[in-house]
Structures are given as structure tokens and as C-alpha cells.
Amino acid sequence: MECDSLQVVQAVGSRFQGSSSMDLLVDDIHASLRAFVDSQVCYVPRIANVAAHGMVKLSFFGLRSLQILEALVDVD
């Protein structure tokens, strides 16, 4: 899994267990990762993953926004 939040990546790699909302999120991530035989959580700066970040942002607005973006961007 790639994440652009270094704080989240460090928390997932830590064995500390707490009860804050961040700790509960980390517990959820650990539970999800257990579904995989092998997994790794890596920090990737947002600038290095601009395309994926843009797709996630567009997913909140629906397919129509993606079609508008494709019309505005010259895709070769």
C-alpha cells in the first residue's frame, strides 16, 4: 500500500496501540492488511503520485467530471 502521509506510514509500522481516532484508523489498516499474505506500507510523496491522487479526487465528483477533464487535457 502506498500512502502520501508519512505520519500514517510510521503509525502503521509502529506496534503502539492507543485509543485516539488515529490509533483506531491504524487498527483498521492493520485489520485490512491481514487479508493479504504479504503486504507493505510505503510512503510516497504526493508529487510522485500525481495521477493517482487526481483520480481519487475525481472519484468524489463522478465520471462526468473525469470526462470533462479528458476533454480539457490533451491526452496522446
Interval 6-19: pLDDT, tens:
888 898 888 777 77
Asked if the model's pLDDT at residue 58 lies above 60, the reply is yes
Residues whose CB falls within 8 Å of the CB of residue 75, separated by 6 or more in sequence, listed in order = none
pLDDT above 60 for 32: yes
Residue 3 banded pLDDT, cuts 50, 70, 90: confident
What distances in angstroms separate CA 68 from CA 44, 51, 52, 62, one per listed residue?
28, 16, 17, 11
List Cα–Cα distances, 19 to 5, 27, 50, 53, 54, in angstroms: 20, 10, 33, 29, 32
Q: Where does the pLDDT of residue 70 fall: very low under 50, low under 70, confident under 90, or very high at 90 and above?
A: low
- Prediction pTM value: 0.57
